[in-house]
Structure formats: C-alpha cells, structure tokens
Amino acid sequence: MNELEQKIITALKTVYDPEIPVNVYDLGLIYEVRINEHKAVSITMTLTAPNCPLADQIVDDVHESVKAISEVSDVVVNLTFEPEWNKDMLSEEAMLELGLM
C-alpha cells in the first residue's frame, strides 16, 4: 500500500455512520478505492441499509474527508448496494467495538 492509499484509509476512518459507533471503513462499507495517475480518487461504497435516512450525509462526509487530502486532485463516490452489506464485512476492530466477538 502506498502512502496516498494509507492517507485515504486514515481519512475514511474518521467518517462514522451516525447510528453506529464504528467508522465506515471498519464497518466494511468501502468496497473499492482507486487512484488514477492524476491522483483522482474513485470510491465505491455501500450503506448498511438501502433506505438509510443519513445516506447523503455519509456519502458527503466520505467525499469531503478524502478531498481534504492535499495530494488528491478529485474525488468521486459511487454508491452501490451490490453486493448487499452484511455483518460479515465488519473488521475485527468493528466486531469488538460492537460486542460481536
């Protein structure tokens, strides 16, 4: 993993689903992070439920946290529900935080 990828992951770990005390990265909501040669970032992510009332806020927070990294030239966040999120996508850290381990 290169330095910019690590900065992006660190930024993503500052974004929380307001209803769950775990960041979106450890929740497993981030499916893919791609960085092109111009340092434009494309993020594919999901939500815990398609009808999440805070979807726009979470997507905006993901966009803004990554856009704040000085090396990043642009950010596009793509929301998908395929595959559907499930608790198996949680990191070990998230499972501990939520008392599932």
Could you give all domains of the chain from N- to C-terminal order, each with its CATH number?
3-82 (3.30.300.130)
8 Å CB contact between 29 and 37: no
Residue 58's alpha-carbon distances to 29, 30, 65, in angstroms, are 11, 12, 10
CA–CA separation, 46 vs 84, rounded Å?
Answer: 8
> What pLDDT, in 10s, does the model give residues 42-63?
999 999 988 888 899 999 999 9
Q: How confident is the model at residue 13 (pLDDT cuts 50, 70, 90)?
A: very high
Whole-structure pTM value = 0.92
> Burial code of 19-41, b = ≥16 C-beta within 10 A, e = fewer?
eeebbbbbbbbbeebebeeeeeb
Q: Which amino acid is at 47?
A: L
